[in-house]
Amino acid sequence: MSAEPISAAQEARVRDAFAGQGMMKTLGATLTRVARGEVEIVLPFAPHIAQQHGFIHAGGLTTVVDNAGGFAAMTLMPEGMEVLTIEFKVNFLSPAIGRRFLATGRVRRSGRQIFVVDGEVVAEDSHGDRKTVAIMLATMMGVRLDLPRPATTAGSGVLAE
């Protein structure tokens, strides 16, 4: 998948989804690039998302790279479809030490419903030096969502596939 530009409407769809996530605001993440089949999210280091040794929590990196992969798939879906993460696998290559982390998701296989994406998290230090600290391989699904209204007390839901 080359990283071609997409239409303003398609980009807006991804930006709206990102903006609608309380979690992205909580982590402090920014959506930095939306291209055809490829999305980048940047997460600056901060103590409120660290683990016990002061490094950024692996779960924080996973949250942004999962989003980058899901949104990358979303750029290839027709309007009215939503993206669900079926599963992901992440390998952590090095301690996640850095000033900020660049998470990229790219579509490797685009189908009617099933999308396979890979992802990468690169740590950038204060000198601008970069190092890959995590790699993801994930399966996303495009669904026409008719989800039950979520709420903190909501009942059970059925995956609309």
Window 104-133: residues binding a second copy (CB under 8 A) = 108-109, 111-114, 116, 118, 125-127, 129, 131-132
**CA of residue 31 relative to chain centroid, distance:** 9
Q: Does 75 bind a second copy (CB under 8 A)?
A: no
Q: Does 30 bind a second copy (CB under 8 A)?
A: no
Taking the least distance from each CB to a second copy, the nearer of 40 and 45 is 45
For 100-123, b/e burial (b = at least 16 CB within 10 A) is: bbbbbbbbeebeeeebbbbbbbbb
Element (H, E) at 69: helix 58-74
Single residue of 4, 5, 12, 95 touching a second copy by CB under 8 A: 95
Q: Does 1 bind a second copy (CB under 8 A)?
A: no
Single residue of 39, 64, 76, 81 touching a second copy by CB under 8 A: 64
CB of 75 to a second copy, least distance (A): 15
CB of 6 to a second copy, least distance (A): 18
Single residue of 3, 21, 35, 122 touching a second copy by CB under 8 A: 21
Single residue of 20, 78, 80, 128 touching a second copy by CB under 8 A: 20
User: What tokens were used for 28?
Assistant: 């402090």
Q: Which of 19, 103, 118 is nearest to 62 (CA)?
A: 103
Q: Could you give the 3-state DSSP secondary structure of residue 137? A: strand
Single residue of 7, 12, 32, 92 touching a second copy by CB under 8 A: 92
Q: Does 7 bind a second copy (CB under 8 A)?
A: no
Cβ-Cβ contacts under 8 Å for 19 (sequence gap 6 or more): none
Q: Which of 1, 6, 140, 2 is nearest to 68 (CA)?
A: 140
